[in-house]
Structure 1
Amino acid sequence: MSLVITGATGHLGRLVVAGLLDAGVPAGEIAAVVRDKEKAAPLAARGVELRVADYSAPETLDGVFRAGDKVLLISGSEVGQRVAQHRAVIDAARTAGVRSLAYTGVLGGPDADFALADEHKVTEQAVLDSGLTYTFLRNGWYHENYTENLGPVLEHGAVLSSTDGGRVASASRADYAAAAVAVLTGEGHDNTAYELSGDVAWTLTEYAAEVARQSGRSIVHRPVTPEQNREILVGAGLPAPFADILVDVDAAIGRGLLARRTGDLARLIGRPTTPLADAVAVALADAPK
């Protein structure tokens, strides 16, 4: 049996593999499913088995999974193509007779009524229909969704949003990776859905104030209308369909859908979730001076 991580060279996947190794899982018991073998060379150098496949090419998934494997399906990043990609992975896992499949979905699961959640909901249903033993890791928002793009904030002195004062119970990407490690290495998670989010829900005004405090600059939150938000995002170079999705997420935040705090994440990882201030500090240390 192997612990199999799909998307293992992505931001979250790399952290999960590193977390498994740090938890003492022998490298030979970890398999990384990757599209680019060269990109995964650092994993191979640590003794992790590489299994090369592409979500978008179902034939490449033949033989990637083995009977008894515990699989983590990290959701794809290509919005609009993910249902077909995920179904290919699910079908291959079922055919192989894997022990279980964990899937990284979105906070709220079937109750999440914003566009970014649609493919996740269809994927969860496909997992249920497959008959596989499952764990749903319904990840909330990442700190890094904001902190990794601090350049424009620092340049213009403003955080822009159309969240209408809504709160976000975010956590660090490393926190969500640690939850996946806990599920893959632990017991008692079969056929369970976890609603994962940070311990603290904050507003964009509070976020701007934290960036200002740590940077020593004047940073404010500037509310904009959804229409203005879309225009700004498209003007910054985002494709219009993706800009629409982000504006819709802001509307969901305004409705409180990403403020939900169940404590599931802290319980899984056995510690409080990472404070937003810590992520801001890391981002500012990495920001161009």
Structure 2
Amino acid sequence: MAGTASPLEGRVAVVTGAARGLGAAMVRELAERGATVALIGREESTLAQVRDTLPGPARCWEVDVTDEAGMAAVADDVRKTLGPASVVIANAGLAEGGPFAESDPATWRRVIEVNLIGSAITARAFLPQLRATRGYFLQIASLASIGAAPMMSAYCASKAGVESFAHALRAELAHERVGVGIGYLNWTDTDMIRDADQHPVLRELRAHMPRPARKVYPARTVARRMVRAAERRSAAVYAPGWLRATQVVRAAMPPVVTALSKREVPRLEREAHFEATGLLGAGGRADAAGGRSADG
């Protein structure tokens, strides 16, 4: 509401994968609500570019979210320079597509490491601060957490994993008044998704989803919903809102997806040969080149 201070005003908020896409959009939303923002990612120059556009105080740290010692050091530096974190958003993520059998094992593993293990390392590094502030941890998940799709096995496995991790963490921390939320996202307009549409295997996957499920939503719109969830300490947030309905029918989704895939995948593969995509988006390309970027 206009003229009403956000509960985030004056608080320290941490966002991983903050160099671009949804992460950068959430950083802007947080800053506009008066939060002091810590940007975490693996491309210092890109992080700095985002930081320099923000209306309030912010600092950035270059670190790989899968580096336990590095993340612990960053968390300590955030506390010393900005103050203890009240909000931590585990957003860093990678994606790749294509048939599992033809996927590169190292690439497949890297998606799991960044999306799942990186989220757990982020939580571990900042939990002492969240306990002190009785803060809020938001895990960015996906529709893929609820219903897996073919040709996205690593991404789906990692997002199902972070959903379960967040549920377990919430139960562990409830008595300490630390909130844990899960952000369920559909297709969001980031360079990762734009890159996905350049590959027949993923372009066809999205094109054959039901009409509401194939729509791409602006990153700023999704970011606004995620940050509003942080203000409210929501247990779950859905972008778009209709994703909430998939929770009701999630048990029925695997056999439906299997039946459709049994019919459609052979036909689609005849029209456009499916190959492994490699890591998607600018962050994925930097990671593959050795930069280890994981900006969602």
Q: Where on the TM-score scale, by shorter chain, does this alignment land: which range?
A: 0.5 to 0.7
Residues 107 and 197, structure 1, Cα contact 8 Å, conserved in 2: no
Hey, what's the Cα distance between the residues in 1 that align with 2:192 and 2:46?
26
| From 116, 124, 142, the counterpart of 2:163 | 124
CA 1:233 to 1:39, structure 2 compared with 1: closer, same or farther past 3 Å? farther
Answering whether residue 47 of structure 2 is matched by residue 11 of structure 1, we say no
* Partner residue of 1:92 out of 110, 121, 125: 125
Which consecutive residues of structure 1, in runs of 5 or more, have no partner in the other structure? 154-158, 201-223, 243-289
Report deviation, 1:137: 0.9
Over the aligned positions, Cα root-mean-square deviation in angstroms equals: 3.6
Quick one: structure 1 residues 87 and 233, their matched pair in 2 at CA, closer, same or farther if it must change by over 3 Å? farther
State whether structure 2 residue 61 is matched by structure 1 residue 25: no
CA displacement at 1:5 relative to structure 2: 1.0
Q: Secondary structure at 1:55's aligned position in 2?
A: coil
Does the 8 Å contact 2:22/2:220 carry over to 1?
yes
Distance 2:163 2:218 in 1: 23
Deviation at residue 150 of structure 1 after TM alignment: 10
SS class of match (1:195): strand
Q: Given that residues 138 and 194 in structure 1 are in contact (C-alpha distance below 8 angstroms), is that contact kept between their aligned partners in structure 2?
A: yes
Paired positions, count: 206
Report the alpha carbon displacement of residue 120 of structure 1 after superposing the two structures with TM. Answer: 1.6
Q: Is the 8 A contact 1:16 1:181 kept in 2?
A: yes
CA contact (8 A) 1:8 1:32 kept: yes
Identity fraction in percent: 13
Give the TM-score normalised by structure 2: 0.57
What secondary structure, in the 3-state scheme, does the structure 1 residue paired with 2:187 have? coil
What is the CA-CA distance between 1:24 and the residue it aligns to? 4.1
Matches within 5 A, 1:66-145: 66=79, 67-77=84-94, 78-81=110-113, 82-98=115-131, 99-107=135-143, 109=145, 111-114=146-149, 115=153, 116-130=155-169, 131=173, 132-142=178-188
Contact kept? 2:37, 2:59, Cα under 8 Å: yes
Higher relative contact order (CA 8 A, sep 6+): 2
SS of the residue aligned with 1:19? Answer: helix
Structure holding more helix per residue: 2
Gaps of at least 5 residues in structure 2 are 1-10, 95-109, 244-262, 281-296
Partner AA of 2:65 in structure 1 = Y
**Equivalent pair of 2:14/2:37 in contact (CA under 8 Å):** yes
User: Which of these residues, 40, 43, 48, is aligned with residue 41 of structure 1?
Assistant: 48
Instruction: Indicate how the Cα distance of structure 1 residues 6 and 225 shifts in structure 2: closer, same or farther if over 3 A, else same.
Output: same
Any residues of structure 2 matched to 1:135-174 within 5 Å, and which?
Answer: 135-142=181-188, 148=194, 160=204, 166-169=210-213, 170=215, 171-174=217-220
Q: Is the 8 A contact 2:91 2:139 kept in 1?
A: yes
Give the 3-state SS of the residue equivalent to 2:111 in structure 1: coil
2:266 corresponds in structure 1 to: 227
Q: In structure 1, how many angstroms separate the alpha carbons of the residues matched to 2:238 and 2:61? A: 30
Q: For 1:165 and 1:32, locate their aligned partners in 2 and report how far apart those are by CA, in whole Å.
A: 34
Pick closer, same or farther for the CA change 1:71–1:161 going to 2, 3 Å: closer
Write the deviation string for residues 259-278 of structure 1: whole angstroms up to 9, x where unpaired. xxxxxxxxxxxxxxxxxxxx
Query: Residue 72 of structure 2 aligns to which amino acid in structure 1?
Result: D
CA contact (8 A) 2:13 2:85 kept: no
CA distances 1:208-253 after superposition (whole Å, capped 9, x unpaired)? xxxxxxxxxxxxxxxx941354573646x724x99xxxxxxxxxxx
Aligned CA distance change for structure 1 residues 164 and 8 (closer, same or farther; 3 Å): closer
Corresponding residue SS for 2:44: coil
Deviation, 1:91, is: 1.4
Going from structure 1 to structure 2, the CA distance change for 1:97 and 1:40 (only over 3 Å counts) comes to same
Of the three residues 163, 167, 182, the one matched with 2:228 is 182
- Paired residue for 2:60, among 50, 56, 61? 50
Q: Trace 1:237-252 onto structure 2 (pairs within 5 A).
A: 238-239=277-278
> Hey, what's the Cα distance between the residues in 1 that align with 2:192 and 2:268?
15
| Partner SS state of residue 112, structure 1 | coil
Q: Contact 2:29/2:227 (CA < 8 Å) preserved in 1? A: yes
In the other structure, the counterpart of 2:12 is 2
Cα deviation for residue 152 of structure 1 reads 6.6
Q: 1:31 to 1:136 in 2, by over 3 A?
A: same
Shift in Å, 1:151: 9.1
